[in-house]
Chain A
Amino acid sequence: MALAFKQETFRNDYQYSNSPNAIKRFPFPFAEDQYMYSVNIEPHIKGKQGTVCEFPFDVDEHYVGECLDKQITLDLDRGRYKTLPHMMDAQWDFVELTMEALSNDYPEHFSLIKDGLNWTWENKPLNIKQSFVFGDASTMPMDPFEFMSRQVQGDFVLLDQRDETLYADGGFVTSQADWSLAFDVGMSWREWHAPVPRATELGVMDRALKYLLNLQLGSPVRRLNWTMTVNPRLDTSPENYPLWGTDRNTVNPENVADKVHLRVELQSLFRLPRSNAIVFSIRCYLMSLKELSSYPRWAKRLHRVQKTMHPDLIEYKGMTKFHPMMVEWLSKFDDGAAMDLGTHPE
Protein backbone atom coordinates (compact mmCIF):
# COMPACT_ATOMS: atom_id res chain seq x y z
CA MET A 1 0.00 0.00 0.00
CA ALA A 2 1.49 3.32 -1.05
CA LEU A 3 1.76 5.89 1.69
CA ALA A 4 0.09 9.28 1.31
CA PHE A 5 2.81 11.73 2.35
CA LYS A 6 1.53 14.89 3.99
CA GLN A 7 2.71 18.45 3.58
CA GLU A 8 3.81 19.48 7.03
CA THR A 9 5.88 22.00 8.93
CA PHE A 10 7.64 21.46 12.24
CA ARG A 11 8.32 25.12 13.01
CA ASN A 12 6.66 28.55 12.75
CA ASP A 13 3.05 27.72 11.77
CA TYR A 14 3.31 24.04 12.82
CA GLN A 15 1.20 22.37 10.16
CA TYR A 16 1.38 18.94 11.71
CA SER A 17 -1.16 16.30 12.67
CA ASN A 18 -1.55 12.55 12.86
CA SER A 19 -4.12 10.63 10.83
CA PRO A 20 -6.32 8.15 12.76
CA ASN A 21 -4.07 5.37 11.51
CA ALA A 22 -0.91 7.18 12.65
CA ILE A 23 -2.43 7.63 16.10
CA LYS A 24 -3.39 3.98 16.29
CA ARG A 25 0.14 2.79 15.44
CA PHE A 26 1.85 5.34 17.71
CA PRO A 27 4.52 3.70 19.87
CA PHE A 28 2.96 4.49 23.25
CA PRO A 29 5.67 3.73 25.78
CA PHE A 30 3.90 3.26 29.13
CA ALA A 31 2.92 -0.30 30.01
CA GLU A 32 2.66 0.46 33.72
CA ASP A 33 1.29 3.24 35.92
CA GLN A 34 4.74 4.38 37.01
CA TYR A 35 7.86 5.29 35.11
CA MET A 36 11.53 5.08 35.96
CA TYR A 37 14.54 4.44 33.75
CA SER A 38 15.28 0.87 32.97
CA VAL A 39 17.41 -1.03 30.47
CA ASN A 40 14.32 -1.66 28.36
CA ILE A 41 16.24 -3.07 25.41
CA GLU A 42 14.67 -5.82 23.31
CA PRO A 43 15.52 -7.47 19.98
CA HIS A 44 14.53 -5.27 17.02
CA ILE A 45 12.63 -8.10 15.37
CA LYS A 46 9.94 -7.76 12.77
CA GLY A 47 6.72 -6.52 14.34
CA LYS A 48 3.14 -7.03 13.21
CA GLN A 49 2.04 -5.60 9.88
CA GLY A 50 1.34 -1.89 10.06
CA THR A 51 3.20 -1.31 13.34
CA VAL A 52 6.22 0.98 13.64
CA CYS A 53 8.40 -2.10 14.14
CA GLU A 54 7.26 -3.93 11.03
CA PHE A 55 10.51 -2.95 9.30
CA PRO A 56 14.00 -1.99 10.52
CA PHE A 57 13.36 1.64 9.46
CA ASP A 58 9.79 2.86 9.64
CA VAL A 59 8.61 5.18 6.86
CA ASP A 60 5.28 6.86 7.56
CA GLU A 61 2.99 9.68 6.41
CA HIS A 62 5.38 12.29 7.86
CA TYR A 63 8.33 11.12 5.73
CA VAL A 64 8.51 13.96 3.22
CA GLY A 65 7.80 16.68 5.80
CA GLU A 66 10.44 15.38 8.17
CA CYS A 67 13.09 15.07 5.47
CA LEU A 68 12.42 18.67 4.40
CA ASP A 69 12.70 19.80 8.01
CA LYS A 70 16.05 18.01 8.32
CA GLN A 71 17.31 19.95 5.35
CA ILE A 72 16.15 23.29 6.78
CA THR A 73 17.84 22.61 10.11
CA LEU A 74 21.07 21.49 8.50
CA ASP A 75 21.13 24.46 6.13
CA LEU A 76 20.84 26.79 9.12
CA ASP A 77 23.56 25.00 11.09
CA ARG A 78 26.08 22.72 9.42
CA GLY A 79 27.21 21.59 12.87
CA ARG A 80 24.30 19.17 13.02
CA TYR A 81 26.29 16.82 10.83
CA LYS A 82 29.73 15.72 11.91
CA THR A 83 31.87 12.64 11.49
CA LEU A 84 35.42 12.01 12.58
CA PRO A 85 37.78 10.94 9.79
CA HIS A 86 38.20 7.31 10.91
CA MET A 87 34.47 6.61 10.44
CA MET A 88 34.43 6.23 6.64
CA ASP A 89 33.87 2.45 6.70
CA ALA A 90 30.95 3.00 9.05
CA GLN A 91 29.54 5.60 6.66
CA TRP A 92 29.39 3.03 3.85
CA ASP A 93 27.98 0.42 6.20
CA PHE A 94 25.17 2.84 6.93
CA VAL A 95 24.52 3.47 3.23
CA GLU A 96 24.24 -0.25 2.60
CA LEU A 97 22.00 -0.89 5.60
CA THR A 98 19.51 1.87 4.85
CA MET A 99 19.38 1.52 1.07
CA GLU A 100 18.83 -2.22 1.29
CA ALA A 101 16.20 -1.89 4.01
CA LEU A 102 14.17 0.85 2.35
CA SER A 103 14.26 -0.63 -1.15
CA ASN A 104 13.32 -4.04 0.20
CA ASP A 105 10.54 -2.87 2.54
CA TYR A 106 9.08 0.00 0.49
CA PRO A 107 9.72 -0.98 -3.14
CA GLU A 108 7.00 1.38 -4.40
CA HIS A 109 9.00 4.34 -3.08
CA PHE A 110 12.66 3.31 -3.17
CA SER A 111 14.81 1.21 -5.45
CA LEU A 112 18.40 0.00 -5.39
CA ILE A 113 20.08 -1.57 -8.41
CA LYS A 114 23.48 -3.17 -7.89
CA ASP A 115 25.92 -4.09 -10.63
CA GLY A 116 28.97 -5.14 -8.70
CA LEU A 117 30.10 -1.99 -6.96
CA ASN A 118 28.13 0.23 -9.33
CA TRP A 119 24.95 1.07 -7.48
CA THR A 120 21.96 3.16 -8.48
CA TRP A 121 19.67 4.49 -5.80
CA GLU A 122 16.30 6.01 -6.44
CA ASN A 123 14.12 7.80 -3.90
CA LYS A 124 10.80 8.64 -5.53
CA PRO A 125 9.13 10.67 -2.74
CA LEU A 126 12.13 13.04 -2.55
CA ASN A 127 12.86 12.83 -6.27
CA ILE A 128 16.48 11.72 -5.89
CA LYS A 129 18.34 9.44 -8.27
CA GLN A 130 22.02 8.75 -7.72
CA SER A 131 24.46 6.37 -9.38
CA PHE A 132 27.72 5.82 -7.53
CA VAL A 133 30.52 3.37 -6.86
CA PHE A 134 30.04 1.74 -3.48
CA GLY A 135 33.07 2.54 -1.31
CA ASP A 136 34.22 5.49 -3.41
CA ALA A 137 33.13 8.70 -1.68
CA SER A 138 34.19 10.81 -4.66
CA THR A 139 31.23 9.41 -6.61
CA MET A 140 28.75 10.81 -4.07
CA PRO A 141 27.54 14.42 -3.97
CA MET A 142 28.37 14.58 -0.24
CA ASP A 143 29.52 12.26 2.55
CA PRO A 144 27.76 8.92 2.06
CA PHE A 145 26.44 9.00 5.63
CA GLU A 146 25.04 12.49 5.17
CA PHE A 147 23.50 11.49 1.85
CA MET A 148 21.41 8.71 3.40
CA SER A 149 20.79 10.38 6.77
CA ARG A 150 18.94 13.08 4.85
CA GLN A 151 16.65 10.42 3.39
CA VAL A 152 15.65 8.41 6.44
CA GLN A 153 13.43 9.77 9.23
CA GLY A 154 15.16 10.26 12.57
CA ASP A 155 18.62 11.05 13.88
CA PHE A 156 21.64 8.81 13.46
CA VAL A 157 24.77 8.47 15.54
CA LEU A 158 27.73 6.31 14.57
CA LEU A 159 29.32 4.64 17.58
CA ASP A 160 32.90 3.43 17.33
CA GLN A 161 33.84 0.57 19.63
CA ARG A 162 37.24 0.64 21.34
CA ASP A 163 38.71 0.67 24.86
CA GLU A 164 35.72 -1.33 26.13
CA THR A 165 33.35 1.53 25.42
CA LEU A 166 31.46 3.25 22.60
CA TYR A 167 32.47 6.63 21.21
CA ALA A 168 29.99 8.92 19.45
CA ASP A 169 32.31 9.56 16.50
CA GLY A 170 29.76 10.70 13.96
CA GLY A 171 26.19 11.85 13.69
CA PHE A 172 23.39 13.51 11.79
CA VAL A 173 21.24 15.09 14.45
CA THR A 174 18.41 17.49 13.63
CA SER A 175 15.51 16.30 15.81
CA GLN A 176 17.11 15.85 19.18
CA ALA A 177 15.54 16.19 22.59
CA ASP A 178 17.93 18.84 23.87
CA TRP A 179 21.37 17.36 23.33
CA SER A 180 24.09 18.71 21.07
CA LEU A 181 26.04 16.62 18.57
CA ALA A 182 28.56 19.43 18.04
CA PHE A 183 29.30 19.29 21.76
CA ASP A 184 29.12 15.54 22.28
CA VAL A 185 30.95 14.30 19.18
CA GLY A 186 33.96 12.18 20.10
CA MET A 187 32.71 11.49 23.62
CA SER A 188 32.71 8.09 25.26
CA TRP A 189 29.49 6.46 26.42
CA ARG A 190 29.85 7.60 30.03
CA GLU A 191 30.78 11.14 29.07
CA TRP A 192 27.86 11.80 26.81
CA HIS A 193 25.33 10.37 29.24
CA ALA A 194 26.72 12.50 32.07
CA PRO A 195 23.80 14.96 32.28
CA VAL A 196 21.10 12.27 32.67
CA PRO A 197 19.97 12.44 36.31
CA ARG A 198 19.64 9.30 38.45
CA ALA A 199 20.65 7.00 35.60
CA THR A 200 24.18 6.58 36.93
CA GLU A 201 22.98 5.73 40.43
CA LEU A 202 20.60 3.15 39.02
CA GLY A 203 23.46 1.54 37.09
CA VAL A 204 21.34 1.73 33.96
CA MET A 205 24.03 3.19 31.73
CA ASP A 206 26.69 0.65 32.66
CA ARG A 207 24.33 -2.25 32.06
CA ALA A 208 23.18 -0.87 28.73
CA LEU A 209 26.79 -0.38 27.64
CA LYS A 210 27.70 -3.95 28.55
CA TYR A 211 24.77 -5.18 26.49
CA LEU A 212 25.64 -3.05 23.47
CA LEU A 213 29.34 -3.96 23.43
CA ASN A 214 28.14 -7.49 22.66
CA LEU A 215 25.65 -6.47 19.99
CA GLN A 216 25.78 -8.93 17.10
CA LEU A 217 25.60 -8.34 13.38
CA GLY A 218 22.11 -9.16 12.11
CA SER A 219 20.53 -8.93 15.56
CA PRO A 220 19.64 -5.27 16.07
CA VAL A 221 17.98 -4.12 19.29
CA ARG A 222 15.56 -1.37 20.19
CA ARG A 223 14.08 0.55 23.09
CA LEU A 224 11.64 3.41 23.54
CA ASN A 225 12.46 6.70 25.19
CA TRP A 226 10.08 9.61 25.70
CA THR A 227 9.66 13.22 26.72
CA MET A 228 6.99 15.90 26.43
CA THR A 229 7.46 18.77 23.96
CA VAL A 230 5.57 22.01 23.51
CA ASN A 231 4.50 22.26 19.84
CA PRO A 232 5.31 19.58 17.26
CA ARG A 233 8.86 20.79 16.90
CA LEU A 234 11.53 18.33 15.79
CA ASP A 235 14.48 20.66 16.33
CA THR A 236 14.42 21.06 20.10
CA SER A 237 18.19 21.38 20.14
CA PRO A 238 20.22 23.23 22.76
CA GLU A 239 21.65 25.20 19.83
CA ASN A 240 18.23 26.71 19.16
CA TYR A 241 17.03 26.84 22.77
CA PRO A 242 16.67 30.64 22.49
CA LEU A 243 14.12 30.00 19.71
CA TRP A 244 11.97 27.36 21.40
CA GLY A 245 12.60 27.97 25.13
CA THR A 246 9.84 30.56 25.42
CA ASP A 247 7.29 28.12 23.92
CA ARG A 248 7.03 26.61 27.40
CA ASN A 249 5.50 29.88 28.62
CA THR A 250 2.70 29.72 26.05
CA VAL A 251 0.93 26.70 27.55
CA ASN A 252 -2.33 27.46 29.38
CA PRO A 253 -5.26 25.28 30.57
CA GLU A 254 -7.17 26.05 27.36
CA ASN A 255 -4.47 25.08 24.87
CA VAL A 256 -2.58 22.43 26.84
CA ALA A 257 -4.09 19.49 24.92
CA ASP A 258 -3.15 20.97 21.55
CA LYS A 259 0.26 22.37 22.50
CA VAL A 260 1.76 19.62 24.61
CA HIS A 261 2.96 16.61 22.67
CA LEU A 262 4.11 13.21 23.75
CA ARG A 263 7.44 12.73 22.03
CA VAL A 264 8.54 9.13 21.74
CA GLU A 265 11.87 8.01 20.42
CA LEU A 266 12.10 4.60 18.86
CA GLN A 267 15.78 3.97 19.39
CA SER A 268 17.34 1.10 17.50
CA LEU A 269 20.91 -0.07 17.28
CA PHE A 270 22.53 -2.08 14.50
CA ARG A 271 26.01 -3.59 14.43
CA LEU A 272 27.76 -2.66 11.18
CA PRO A 273 29.68 -5.31 9.23
CA ARG A 274 32.86 -3.64 7.93
CA SER A 275 33.65 -1.10 10.62
CA ASN A 276 32.37 -3.06 13.64
CA ALA A 277 30.76 0.25 14.61
CA ILE A 278 27.14 0.54 15.73
CA VAL A 279 24.58 2.85 14.21
CA PHE A 280 22.21 4.33 16.77
CA SER A 281 18.96 5.36 15.12
CA ILE A 282 16.69 7.72 17.04
CA ARG A 283 13.30 8.02 15.40
CA CYS A 284 10.93 10.62 16.84
CA TYR A 285 7.14 10.30 16.95
CA LEU A 286 4.99 13.24 18.04
CA MET A 287 1.35 13.20 19.15
CA SER A 288 -0.62 15.92 20.93
CA LEU A 289 -2.46 15.16 24.16
CA LYS A 290 -5.71 15.66 22.26
CA GLU A 291 -4.74 13.10 19.62
CA LEU A 292 -3.58 10.73 22.33
CA SER A 293 -6.88 11.04 24.16
CA SER A 294 -8.74 9.56 21.20
CA TYR A 295 -7.75 6.39 23.05
CA PRO A 296 -8.93 7.07 26.61
CA ARG A 297 -6.88 4.14 27.90
CA TRP A 298 -3.70 5.95 26.89
CA ALA A 299 -4.84 9.22 28.48
CA LYS A 300 -5.67 7.41 31.70
CA ARG A 301 -2.30 5.68 31.72
CA LEU A 302 -0.39 8.86 30.94
CA HIS A 303 -2.21 10.62 33.78
CA ARG A 304 -0.95 8.06 36.28
CA VAL A 305 2.57 8.07 34.91
CA GLN A 306 2.79 11.87 35.01
CA LYS A 307 1.15 12.22 38.41
CA THR A 308 3.79 10.00 40.00
CA MET A 309 6.79 11.28 38.01
CA HIS A 310 10.03 11.77 39.96
CA PRO A 311 10.70 15.52 40.39
CA ASP A 312 14.23 15.18 38.95
CA LEU A 313 12.77 13.78 35.75
CA ILE A 314 10.15 16.54 35.50
CA GLU A 315 13.00 19.02 35.63
CA TYR A 316 15.36 17.10 33.33
CA LYS A 317 12.69 16.63 30.69
CA GLY A 318 11.87 20.33 30.80
CA MET A 319 8.26 19.82 31.92
CA THR A 320 8.29 21.96 35.07
CA LYS A 321 6.27 24.87 33.70
CA PHE A 322 3.36 22.94 32.21
CA HIS A 323 3.40 19.71 34.20
CA PRO A 324 0.54 20.59 36.62
CA MET A 325 -1.70 21.76 33.74
CA MET A 326 -1.01 18.57 31.83
CA VAL A 327 -1.82 16.36 34.83
CA GLU A 328 -5.01 18.34 35.46
CA TRP A 329 -6.16 17.97 31.85
CA LEU A 330 -5.42 14.24 31.81
CA SER A 331 -7.14 13.63 35.15
CA LYS A 332 -10.59 13.70 33.57
CA PHE A 333 -9.76 10.45 31.80
CA ASP A 334 -8.85 8.65 35.00
CA ASP A 335 -11.70 6.89 36.82
CA GLY A 336 -9.31 5.42 39.36
CA ALA A 337 -10.02 1.82 38.35
CA ALA A 338 -7.08 -0.59 38.08
CA MET A 339 -5.51 -1.04 34.65
CA ASP A 340 -3.99 -4.12 33.06
CA LEU A 341 -0.34 -4.03 32.08
CA GLY A 342 0.39 -3.13 28.47
CA THR A 343 0.72 -0.31 25.99
CA HIS A 344 -2.24 -1.26 23.77
CA PRO A 345 -4.62 1.62 22.95
CA GLU A 346 -7.90 -0.16 23.68
Chain B
Amino acid sequence: MERGYWIRSKPVYTSLLWHEKATSHLVVAQSQGGMAVLKLFQLMHPKQAITVLYMPHAEADYSKTLIKVVPDGLQLLETEQEVLAKLDSVLHGMCMGMRLYIAGSEDFMWSVAKVANKFGIEDAGMMKELTGTLARPIYCVHCKATTHGVTTNIGECSGCGRMLFVRDHFSRKLGAYMGLMIDAESPGELPDIEEIYP
Protein backbone atom coordinates (compact mmCIF):
# COMPACT_ATOMS: atom_id res chain seq x y z
CA MET B 1 0.00 0.00 0.00
CA GLU B 2 1.20 3.47 -0.91
CA ARG B 3 2.78 5.43 1.92
CA GLY B 4 0.63 8.22 3.23
CA TYR B 5 -2.52 6.46 2.04
CA TRP B 6 -5.64 6.60 4.19
CA ILE B 7 -9.38 6.70 3.74
CA ARG B 8 -10.29 10.15 4.96
CA SER B 9 -13.96 9.43 5.55
CA LYS B 10 -13.09 6.32 7.58
CA PRO B 11 -14.10 6.75 11.20
CA VAL B 12 -11.36 6.77 13.80
CA TYR B 13 -12.24 4.31 16.55
CA THR B 14 -10.82 4.83 20.01
CA SER B 15 -10.86 3.03 23.35
CA LEU B 16 -14.09 3.35 25.27
CA LEU B 17 -14.02 5.91 28.08
CA TRP B 18 -16.83 6.91 30.42
CA HIS B 19 -18.49 10.27 29.95
CA GLU B 20 -18.53 11.28 33.60
CA LYS B 21 -21.34 13.82 33.26
CA ALA B 22 -23.81 11.43 31.62
CA THR B 23 -27.20 10.87 33.24
CA SER B 24 -27.07 7.17 32.33
CA HIS B 25 -24.86 4.79 30.36
CA LEU B 26 -25.78 2.27 27.70
CA VAL B 27 -23.04 -0.16 26.65
CA VAL B 28 -23.53 -2.51 23.69
CA ALA B 29 -20.88 -5.10 22.89
CA GLN B 30 -20.30 -8.27 20.95
CA SER B 31 -17.75 -11.07 21.17
CA GLN B 32 -14.27 -9.57 21.80
CA GLY B 33 -15.99 -6.32 22.64
CA GLY B 34 -16.63 -7.86 26.06
CA MET B 35 -12.99 -7.13 26.86
CA ALA B 36 -13.50 -3.47 26.01
CA VAL B 37 -16.44 -3.42 28.45
CA LEU B 38 -14.31 -5.00 31.18
CA LYS B 39 -11.62 -2.38 30.56
CA LEU B 40 -14.25 0.32 31.02
CA PHE B 41 -15.32 -1.10 34.37
CA GLN B 42 -11.71 -1.50 35.43
CA LEU B 43 -11.38 2.26 35.04
CA MET B 44 -14.48 3.09 37.03
CA HIS B 45 -17.89 1.84 38.05
CA PRO B 46 -20.12 4.88 37.38
CA LYS B 47 -22.69 6.11 39.86
CA GLN B 48 -25.36 6.58 37.20
CA ALA B 49 -27.67 3.88 35.86
CA ILE B 50 -25.91 1.40 33.60
CA THR B 51 -27.30 -0.97 30.99
CA VAL B 52 -24.98 -3.44 29.27
CA LEU B 53 -26.17 -5.50 26.30
CA TYR B 54 -23.66 -8.24 25.50
CA MET B 55 -23.67 -10.90 22.82
CA PRO B 56 -21.00 -13.56 23.44
CA HIS B 57 -19.53 -15.52 20.57
CA ALA B 58 -17.90 -18.94 20.33
CA GLU B 59 -14.55 -17.23 19.74
CA ALA B 60 -14.83 -14.88 22.68
CA ASP B 61 -17.18 -15.11 25.65
CA TYR B 62 -16.69 -12.77 28.60
CA SER B 63 -20.17 -13.28 30.05
CA LYS B 64 -19.01 -15.05 33.23
CA THR B 65 -16.71 -12.20 34.19
CA LEU B 66 -19.23 -9.59 33.14
CA ILE B 67 -21.91 -11.12 35.37
CA LYS B 68 -19.56 -10.63 38.32
CA VAL B 69 -18.47 -7.10 37.37
CA VAL B 70 -21.88 -5.79 36.35
CA PRO B 71 -24.28 -7.72 38.57
CA ASP B 72 -27.24 -5.52 37.72
CA GLY B 73 -27.90 -3.97 34.35
CA LEU B 74 -26.29 -6.73 32.29
CA GLN B 75 -28.35 -8.50 29.67
CA LEU B 76 -26.93 -11.40 27.69
CA LEU B 77 -28.24 -11.95 24.18
CA GLU B 78 -27.62 -14.65 21.62
CA THR B 79 -27.95 -13.06 18.21
CA GLU B 80 -27.39 -9.66 16.64
CA GLN B 81 -31.11 -9.40 15.88
CA GLU B 82 -31.84 -9.90 19.57
CA VAL B 83 -29.33 -7.23 20.51
CA LEU B 84 -30.84 -4.74 18.07
CA ALA B 85 -34.41 -5.50 19.16
CA LYS B 86 -33.45 -5.14 22.82
CA LEU B 87 -31.55 -1.93 22.06
CA ASP B 88 -34.63 -0.53 20.35
CA SER B 89 -36.81 -1.21 23.37
CA VAL B 90 -34.19 0.08 25.84
CA LEU B 91 -33.74 3.31 23.87
CA HIS B 92 -37.49 3.95 24.03
CA GLY B 93 -37.16 4.46 27.77
CA MET B 94 -33.97 6.52 27.73
CA CYS B 95 -33.73 10.23 28.55
CA MET B 96 -31.48 13.05 27.35
CA GLY B 97 -28.01 12.79 28.78
CA MET B 98 -27.73 9.05 28.19
CA ARG B 99 -24.40 8.05 26.65
CA LEU B 100 -23.94 5.18 24.25
CA TYR B 101 -20.81 3.01 24.06
CA ILE B 102 -20.31 0.33 21.40
CA ALA B 103 -17.61 -2.33 21.08
CA GLY B 104 -17.30 -5.04 18.46
CA SER B 105 -16.69 -5.56 14.77
CA GLU B 106 -17.22 -2.70 12.34
CA ASP B 107 -20.37 -4.43 11.05
CA PHE B 108 -21.79 -4.75 14.53
CA MET B 109 -21.00 -1.19 15.59
CA TRP B 110 -22.71 0.38 12.60
CA SER B 111 -25.77 -1.87 12.93
CA VAL B 112 -26.10 -0.57 16.49
CA ALA B 113 -25.49 2.99 15.30
CA LYS B 114 -28.30 2.67 12.76
CA VAL B 115 -30.81 1.81 15.50
CA ALA B 116 -29.52 4.68 17.66
CA ASN B 117 -29.85 7.11 14.72
CA LYS B 118 -33.59 6.46 14.70
CA PHE B 119 -33.72 7.94 18.20
CA GLY B 120 -31.88 11.10 17.14
CA ILE B 121 -28.54 10.02 18.56
CA GLU B 122 -25.93 11.38 16.18
CA ASP B 123 -22.67 9.75 15.32
CA ALA B 124 -20.69 12.14 17.51
CA GLY B 125 -22.81 11.07 20.49
CA MET B 126 -21.65 7.44 20.36
CA MET B 127 -18.29 6.08 21.39
CA LYS B 128 -16.99 3.13 19.42
CA GLU B 129 -14.18 0.66 19.95
CA LEU B 130 -13.23 -1.76 17.19
CA THR B 131 -12.47 -5.20 18.57
CA GLY B 132 -11.74 -8.72 17.40
CA THR B 133 -11.63 -8.34 13.64
CA LEU B 134 -10.83 -5.87 10.88
CA ALA B 135 -13.51 -7.38 8.60
CA ARG B 136 -15.40 -4.69 6.71
CA PRO B 137 -19.01 -4.13 5.63
CA ILE B 138 -19.13 -3.29 1.91
CA TYR B 139 -22.02 -1.50 0.22
CA CYS B 140 -22.47 -2.39 -3.43
CA VAL B 141 -23.09 0.89 -5.23
CA HIS B 142 -24.65 -1.05 -8.14
CA CYS B 143 -27.30 -3.21 -6.43
CA LYS B 144 -27.31 -1.40 -3.03
CA ALA B 145 -26.82 -4.59 -0.98
CA THR B 146 -24.37 -4.58 1.91
CA THR B 147 -22.05 -7.57 2.25
CA HIS B 148 -20.93 -8.12 5.82
CA GLY B 149 -17.62 -9.22 7.29
CA VAL B 150 -15.43 -8.98 4.19
CA THR B 151 -11.86 -9.93 5.12
CA THR B 152 -10.34 -9.74 1.64
CA ASN B 153 -9.20 -6.89 -0.61
CA ILE B 154 -11.87 -7.88 -3.13
CA GLY B 155 -15.17 -9.44 -2.13
CA GLU B 156 -18.17 -10.96 -3.87
CA CYS B 157 -21.37 -8.95 -3.48
CA SER B 158 -23.99 -10.90 -1.56
CA GLY B 159 -26.68 -9.15 -3.62
CA CYS B 160 -25.62 -9.27 -7.26
CA GLY B 161 -22.51 -11.47 -7.22
CA ARG B 162 -20.24 -8.84 -8.75
CA MET B 163 -16.67 -8.75 -7.51
CA LEU B 164 -16.23 -5.52 -5.58
CA PHE B 165 -13.22 -3.48 -4.61
CA VAL B 166 -13.41 -0.79 -1.98
CA ARG B 167 -13.20 2.80 -3.09
CA ASP B 168 -11.60 5.10 -0.51
CA HIS B 169 -14.89 6.06 1.01
CA PHE B 170 -16.97 5.23 4.10
CA SER B 171 -20.59 6.22 4.77
CA ARG B 172 -21.68 6.54 8.39
CA LYS B 173 -25.30 6.56 7.30
CA LEU B 174 -24.95 3.22 5.52
CA GLY B 175 -22.29 1.99 7.94
CA ALA B 176 -20.23 0.60 5.09
CA TYR B 177 -17.41 1.14 2.66
CA MET B 178 -18.18 1.91 -0.96
CA GLY B 179 -17.84 -1.13 -3.19
CA LEU B 180 -17.41 -0.89 -6.95
CA MET B 181 -17.27 -3.62 -9.55
CA ILE B 182 -13.57 -4.28 -10.04
CA ASP B 183 -13.66 -5.69 -13.56
CA ALA B 184 -16.20 -3.32 -15.13
CA GLU B 185 -13.65 -2.06 -17.64
CA SER B 186 -12.05 -5.44 -18.33
CA PRO B 187 -14.60 -8.18 -17.59
CA GLY B 188 -13.10 -11.27 -15.97
CA GLU B 189 -9.75 -9.68 -15.14
CA LEU B 190 -9.31 -9.98 -11.39
CA PRO B 191 -6.23 -9.30 -9.32
CA ASP B 192 -5.22 -11.82 -6.65
CA ILE B 193 -7.68 -12.03 -3.81
CA GLU B 194 -5.90 -11.75 -0.48
CA GLU B 195 -7.04 -11.70 3.11
CA ILE B 196 -5.82 -8.37 4.44
CA TYR B 197 -8.59 -7.64 6.98
CA PRO B 198 -8.49 -10.72 9.22
Contacts and interface: CB of A to CB of B under 8 A. Distances in A.
B156 to A, nearest CB: 15
B141 A182 contact: yes
Interface string B90-122: 000000000000000000000000000000000
A190 B8 contact: yes
- Kindly name the residue among B9, B124, B170 whose own CB sees the greatest number of chain A CB atoms within 10 A: B9
B133 interface: no
Interface stretch (A52-60, A142-150, A209-217, A243-251): A243-251
Contact of B168 (A183, A184, A194, A249): A194
Interface stretch (A104-112, A115-123, A234-242, A277-285): A234-242
Interface in A325-341: none
A248 B185 contact: yes
Contacts of B139: 183
Contact of A191 (B162, B172, B181): B172
Contacts of B172: 186-187, 191
B180 A187 contact: no
A121 B191 CA distance: 54
Given A194-B168, A195-B167, A249 B8 contact: no
B184 A245 contact: yes
A195 B142 contact: no
Contacts, number: 70
A242 B142 contact: yes
Interface in A180-216: 180, 182-187, 190-195, 200
A273 interface: no
Interface in B162-186: 162, 167-174, 178, 180-181, 184-186
Contacts of B173: 185-187
A191 B12 CA distance: 12
A79 interface: yes
Interface residues of B, number: 24
Size range of the chain A interface in the assembly? 20 to 34
Nearest to A244: B184
B160 to A, nearest CB: 9
Interface in A245-293: 245-246, 248-249
B74 to A, nearest CB: 33
B112 to A, nearest CB: 17
A191 B171 CA distance: 8
Nearest to A77: B144
Contact of A195 (B169, B181, B184): B169
Nearest to B143: A239
B193 interface: no
Contacts of A183: 139, 141, 169, 171, 174, 178
B7 interface: yes
B55 to A, nearest CB: 27
A249 B186 contact: yes
Nearest to A190: B8
A239 B142 contact: yes
A187 B123 CA distance: 11
Contact of B184 (A182, A185, A200, A242): A242
A192 B142 contact: no
A320 to B, nearest CB: 10
Contacts of A184: 171
Interface in B4-36: 7-9
Contacts of A79: 144
A200 B8 contact: yes
A241 B144 contact: no
Interface string A64-100: 0000000000000001000000000000000000000
18 contacts: A79-B144, A180-B141, A180-B178, A182-B141, A182-B144, A183-B141, A186-B171, A186-B173, A187-B172, A190-B9, A191-B9, A194-B169, A195-B168, A195-B169, A241-B180, A241-B181, A245-B181, A246-B185
Given A186-B173, A191-B171, A248-B185, 13 more contacts: A183-B178, A184-B171, A187-B173, A192-B9, A195-B8, A238-B180, A239-B141, A241-B141, A241-B142, A242-B184, A245-B184, A246-B186, A249-B186
Interface of B: 7-9, 124, 139, 141-142, 144, 162, 167-174, 178, 180-181, 184-187
List 8 A-B pairs, minimum CB-CB distance, nearest first: A245-B184, A194-B8, A194-B9, A186-B173, A191-B9, A245-B185, A242-B184, A238-B141
